[in-house]
């Protein structure tokens, strides 16, 4: 089955700096890669996703890049703000199998220092 590795496990940045979280996956057939943000006591919230026919996607201060050859994808947050502090999860899925199971990474705790 799919295995997703996520790094780093914790990340501390100063407000205004950029943050980068990286994930690698094992199943070359995976073709859907969402990122979720989880705040304390809440469920994961989808913040951005990318599909295998796209190399990069951007939404305001958030961007995701995908390298299918190397089987890794990354989340980039620019101009970080204290409210970006949360746990971020990457995930991967092979949509073509008909399964809708998301395999999640272990999470990155991002702390933005004011």
Structure tokens belonging to residue 9? 């496990």
C-beta closer to another protein: residue 13 or 109? 109
How many CB atoms within 10 Å of residue 31? 18
Which region, judged by CB under 8 A, interacts with another protein, from 20-28, 36-44, 52-60, 69-77?
Answer: 36-44
CA distances from 22 to 55, 64, 66, 74, 102 (A): 15, 10, 10, 4, 17
Nearer to another protein, 35 or 74 (CB): 35
Cβ–Cβ under 8 Å, residues 44 and 38: yes
Counting contacts by CB under 8 A, is residue 88 touching another protein? no
Under the binding rule (CB under 8 A), the answer on residue 100 touching another protein is yes
Shortest distance in whole angstroms from residue 43 CB to another protein: 4
């Amino acid at each position: 089955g799919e295995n997703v590795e996520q790094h780093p496990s914790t990340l501390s940045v100063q407000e205004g700096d950029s943050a980068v979280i990286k994930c690698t996956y094992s199943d070359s057939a995976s073709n859907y890669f969402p990122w979720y943000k989880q705040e304390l006591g809440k469920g994961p919230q989808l913040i951005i996703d990318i599909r295998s026919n796209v190399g990069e996607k951007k939404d305001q201060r958030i961007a995701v890049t995908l390298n299918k050859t190397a089987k890794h994808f990354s989340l980039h947050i620019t101009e970080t703000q204290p409210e970006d502090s949360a746990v971020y999860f990457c995930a991967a899925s092979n949509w073509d199998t008909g399964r809708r199971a998301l395999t999640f990474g272990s999470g990155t705790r991002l702390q933005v220092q004011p």
